[in-house]
Amino acid sequence: MSGIRGEFLLSGSPRACNLKASGSRSAGKAPSNPAILLMSFIWNCVMKNDVHEPSVSALLIGGYASDRLLVQEVFRKSGWRLFEARGRHWATRLLEKSQVQVVIAESDLPGWDWKAILLDLRSLVHPPELVVTSRMADDLLWAEVLNLGGYDVLPQPLERDEVQRVVASARRHFDLQSLRETRRPALAAGAA
């Protein structure tokens, strides 16, 4: 097996990764099938931990009197970036100026509930994943959030490990969605 050097765009910055081609390919020639190339990347980089967890930029929307310090601590310890906004005006300005992959929002904000937030996010070129938090989190809310296009629901009070797991997972989902959107025009052009 020969090693091939390939470069992939992850979270807005190129990261190099070693790919392994099958023994039948000549040295230095990358697999031509994009699906094989992607699977090689996933296996060699992600599964073998050759790349670090991508950085996260998130927006926390709402008051969060009791949970704010916990969320700030999770982000600080993970080396992630956290923006905060208490209302629609500031949240919209932050979303326009900063590349955010995840939005964490309370389910019932005065004058701007999670459904309105989701509609506003859909107007963005690369809409971030929406994680809804609620003191009344139940299966009905979870199903509604997922069915309307949100990413997940976190019950309040928030738990440190669950916040970290859900935000990291939402970030990975954002990357996959961005990759699909990037590949779609290329695939359509190839079919024409």
Task: State the average pLDDT for the chain.
Answer: 79
Before 110, cis peptide (omega within 30)? no
CA atoms of 89 and 187, how far apart (whole Å): 38
CA atoms of 10 and 141, how far apart (whole Å): 32
CA atoms of 170 and 190, how far apart (whole Å): 30
| Listed range (10-19, 102-111, 173-182) with the worst mean pLDDT | 10-19
Name the pTM for this structure.
0.70
Q: Quick check: 21 and 30 in contact, CB under 8 A?
A: yes
Per-residue pLDDT tens digits for 16-33: 444 433 333 444 455 567
What pLDDT is recorded for position 25?
41
- Distance set, CA 120 to CA 76, 98, 104, 165 (Å): 27, 15, 14, 25
Model confidence at 85: pLDDT above 80: yes
Name the residue with tokens 């009197």. Answer: 65
